[in-house]
Structure 1
Amino acid sequence: MELRSFSAAVITVALGAAGLAATAPAATAAGVTATSVKSASSNGTTVTVSTYDQLTGSTHEDLFPSVISVSVAVPAAYRYYSAYGAPRTAEVEWIATASSAGDPGCVLASRDSLGEGNGGANWTDVLYKDTDPGSCTVTVDVWATRRVEGHPAASYDANIRVQVPLKYVAQAFFTDVKTSRTSVTKGGIVTMSGILKYDDAYGLRSASVLGGAPLHVEETTSSPTNPAAKWRQVATIKTASTGAWNVRLKPSRSASYRVVYPGSSIYLGAKTSPSPIIRVTTPAATKLSAPKASLSTVKKGAYTTLSGKAYVKSGSKYKGYAKAKVTVQKKVGTKWKTVKTVTASKSGTWKLKIKATSTATYRTYIKQTSSTKSATSRSIKVTVRR
Structure 2
Amino acid sequence: MSSALQLDVPELEEIIVPQLDEVEARLMEVVSNADETINPPTSHLAAAGGKRLRPMLVLLTAQLGDAAAACSQQVHDAAVAVELTHIATLYHDDVMDDAPKRRGAPSAQMVWGNSAAILTGDILVARASQMVAALGPDAVLAHARTFERLCTGQLHETLPRPEGVDPVDHYIQVLADKTGSLIALCGLYGTMLTGAGAKAQRIVELYGEKIGVAFQLADDVIDICSDSETTGKTPGTDLLEGVDTMPVLLLRQRLASGELDSAGQAILSLLSTGNLQRQQVLSDVVQRLRNHPVTAETRAMAGAWCDEAVAALADLDDAVVEATRTRLKAEALSEAEVAQGVESARSRAQLVRRGLEDFAHLLVDRAA
Query: TM class by shorter-chain length?
Result: under 0.3
TM-score by length of 1: 0.21
Give TM-score, length-normalised by structure 2.
0.22
More helix by proportion, 1 or 2?
2
Higher relative contact order (CA 8 A, sep 6+): 2
**Where is the strand percentage greater, Structure 1 or Structure 2?**
1
